[in-house]
Structure 1
Amino acid sequence: MNALQLLPVMVVGLAGSVHCIGMCGGIVGALSVSSAPLPRNVIPIAVIAHSSALPRVLSYNVGRIASYMAAGALAGGLAGGARSIASLAGLQLGFYWLANLMLVALGLYLMDAWRGLAVLEQGGRVLWRRAQPVIAPMMKSLMPATHPHQAFALGLLWGWLPCGMVYSVLLTAMLSGSASDGAAVMLAFGLGTLPMLTGLGLIGARLQRALQQRRVRIACGLLVLAFGVLGLARAAGGIAPDWMDTLCLTPHQ
Structure 2
Amino acid sequence: MIEQSLWSAALIAGLLGGGHCIGMCGGIVSSLTMALPPGRREPRQITGMLLGYNLGRISSYSLAGLIAGSLGQLLGQSWMGVAMGLRALAALMLVLMALYIGRWWSGLIHIETLGKGLWQRIEPLGRRLFPVRHGGQAFLLGSLWGWLPCGLVYSMLIMALSSGSGLYGALIMLAFGLGTLPTLLVTGFMADRLRTALRHPVWRHLAAFILLLFALWQLAPLWYQLKGAG
Q: Same fold (TM over 0.5)?
A: yes
Q: 1:97 and 2:84 equivalent?
A: no
> TM-score with structure 1 length normalisation?
0.76
Give yes or no for contact 1:21–1:211 (8 Å, CA) kept in 2: no
- Aligned partner of 2:63 in structure 1 is 70
- Aligned partner of 2:32 in structure 1 is 31
Q: 1:61 and 2:62 equivalent?
A: no
Q: 1:230–1:179: structure 2 CA closer, same or farther, 3 Å change rule?
A: closer
Q: 1:55–1:135: structure 2 CA closer, same or farther, 3 Å change rule?
A: same
Give yes or no for contact 2:2–2:218 (8 Å, CA) kept in 1: no
The correspondence for 1:152, drawn from 139, 142, 149, is 139
Q: Deviations over 1:130-150 (max 9, x none)?
A: x42x43432222101121011
- Aligned partner of 2:124 in structure 1 is 137
When the two chains are superposed, the root-mean-square deviation of aligned CA atoms in Å is 2.7
Give yes or no for contact 1:100–1:231 (8 Å, CA) kept in 2: yes
- Aligned partner of 1:15 in structure 2 is 16
Q: Report how far residue 97 of structure 1 moved.
A: 1.0
The correspondence for 1:204, drawn from 174, 182, 191, is 191
4+ residue runs of structure 1 moved beyond 6 angstroms? Answer: none
Give yes or no for contact 2:60–2:146 (8 Å, CA) kept in 1: yes
Q: 1:79–1:194: structure 2 CA closer, same or farther, 3 Å change rule?
A: same
Amino acid at match of 1:11: I
- Aligned partner of 1:236 in structure 2 is 223
Q: Deviations over 1:162-220 (max 9, x none)?
A: 11211222122223333222212211221122112212123222111211223322222
Percent sequence identity over aligned pairs: 42
Task: Name whichever of 66-75 and 50-59 sits farther off.
Answer: 50-59
Matched positions, count: 221
CA distance in 2, matches of 1:69, 1:28: 20
Unaligned runs of 5+ in 2: 226-230
Give yes or no for contact 1:33–1:144 (8 Å, CA) kept in 2: no
Give yes or no for contact 1:60–1:152 (8 Å, CA) kept in 2: yes
Q: 1:234–1:9: structure 2 CA closer, same or farther, 3 Å change rule?
A: same
| DSSP 3-state at the match of 1:142 | coil
Q: Report how far residue 4 of structure 1 moved.
A: 4.2
Give yes or no for contact 1:76–1:182 (8 Å, CA) kept in 2: yes
- Aligned partner of 1:250 in structure 2 is none
| DSSP 3-state at the match of 2:139 | helix
Q: 1:116–1:51: structure 2 CA closer, same or farther, 3 Å change rule?
A: same
1:108-123 paired onto structure 2 within 5 Å: 108-123=99-114
| DSSP 3-state at the match of 2:31 | coil
CA distance in 1, matches of 2:23, 2:123: 23
- Aligned partner of 2:228 in structure 1 is none
- Aligned partner of 1:45 in structure 2 is none
- Aligned partner of 1:170 in structure 2 is 157
Give yes or no for contact 2:57–2:146 (8 Å, CA) kept in 1: yes
Q: Deviations over 1:70-98 (max 9, x none)?
A: 101111122223444x243x111111111
Q: Report how far residue 13 of structure 1 moved.
A: 2.2
Give yes or no for contact 1:49–1:202 (8 Å, CA) kept in 2: no
CA distance in 1, matches of 2:159, 2:16: 17
Structure that is richer in helix per residue: 2
Q: Report how far residue 2 of structure 1 moved.
A: 9.7
> TM-score with structure 2 length normalisation?
0.83
